[in-house]
Structure 1
Amino acid sequence: MMTRATVDVLIPTCNRACALAVTLASLSTQTFTDFRVVISDQSDGAAAFDKEEVQAVMRQMQATGREVLALRHLPRRGMAEQRAFLLSHASAPYCLFLDDDVLLENDVLERMHAIIVEQQCGFVGSALHGMSFLDDIRPHQQHIEFWDGKVQPERVTPDSPAWARHHLHSAANLFHVQARLGLTRATTRLYRVAWIGGCVMFDTAKLRETGGFDFWSELPSAHCGEDVLAQLRVMERFGGCGMIPSGAYHLELPTTVTTRDIDAPKVLPISPTADTA
């Protein structure tokens, strides 16, 4: 019988077998090994995790002591509901929401876990580098605000100046910043964020305390920004940060969320109790 892991890696996936295989393969080489993987698949037709390339990696992971729970979750009710479903299966103290098209350096989980334990904050994220933009240098989008002390709660809204921080995570901006500053794994630093997409580790209890993704029923199935809204709510109560160097790379596939008219943090309150009182 498997004992409870320290981190549950929660992966929503849809129609991306090859990308999922790459993501799982990068998890299989992590220096931090006390984690379990939970996959929630909403693919058309056969599940992505039933494809040969994914099965091969899953067998290798399970044979080397990494538990993988692969679930089908249909019908589709939107990404917020998909994430709520994944969170309902989390039993670890920490949960890493990881997109199905991310390549990780081998110490990313180890560094993220060390940071969230030390900081006792709500989340830490590794922003995704888009390496096709390696030659596209954008100094006007590379401002970074470091945390010099403990990560603190912070309120960020779409109409606040801090919202502009999201530009740091466009293209390869963060990669250019870490290269310019000469930062390495040994000199990891924390910085202030608006939000982080694709690779975010939460304190599971803190995420649940702020409602998790239970707001899914307040949104139409076609929406975006559900991950952003959850982060903003956690950050306001418990604080959140990004780590640099990131060590996470985007596979840069076309998005599977094609309808973006309803953006969760722009239609739902950041502070649900206070804003609706």
Structure 2
Amino acid sequence: MGFFRISREFEVCNNVNQVLLFLLIVTICGILYKKVHRGTVLRNETDDDSETPEDMEDEIPVVICAAAGRMGAAMAAINSIYSNTDANILFYVVGLRNTLSRIRKWIEHSKLREINFKIVEFNPMVLKGKIRPDSARPELLQPNTYMGYLDYRKKTIKDLGISPSTCSFNPGVIVANMTEWKHQRITKQLEKWMQKNVEENLYSSSLGGGVATSPMLIVFHGKYSTINPLWHIRHLGWNPDTRYSEHFLQEAKLLHWNGRHKPWDFPSVHNDLWESWFVPDPAGIFKLHHPNS
């Protein structure tokens, strides 16, 4: 119990559907462990460079997905993290093959050039056989209970013994113990439940975004504790007419513009906070769309 720390709001269910920004939008996973699973990695250092055991021990990997259309969001998140900590951070920036050179250029030709980073290529083929053809990833209204994510008409779901009224959690920001992750073979468990959905259509893809969230709800059930809500202030992109108090935002540790109203677009709220960490795109592709920009 408790080796996964996941954001869940107020520990109670409410009647308001929530928007979950997941995966290809700025997904931040701070992993407090000295090693990360090795994949196809492009380093910002030469292969001859080596790290001492002391450096590895203090290193904190942070994984961020850099979706092509929202790469500016990833860069702003990296800038904010790097500028607000003295810790030895190693950024793993994940992208598709056709975006890797752009990611590298953005980092190496901007104020981010001093960060310690690795670029990781995501191969979509790893998802073969694990995603249904009808699966979608739009900005969906998200339910607050397991009922909205799992199809309780299916025997496989009923046999889990999880009450449909159980409050769901938001896996958009997690801190994971990678020793336990590997020991309990969490990746294999998640892949198993993704494959089961392809075979049996177990998840409510129309409401709950069954591609990623539903398997996590199953695998992490009873194996997580919540993080301080200040480490995941959500719904900043929910409604352009709804604002948090400035005092509250100053106390916040992590801001999340989940929803349709992104801080680089118009209309949006609290975009001044986001813009303070914005790193201009050297290629001039990603641009702000504000009346005064």
Report which of the two structures shows the higher radius of gyration computed on alpha carbons.
2
Interval of TM-score (by shorter of Structure 1 and Structure 2): 0.3 to 0.5
More helix by share: 1
TM-score using structure 2 length: 0.40
TM-score using structure 1 length: 0.42
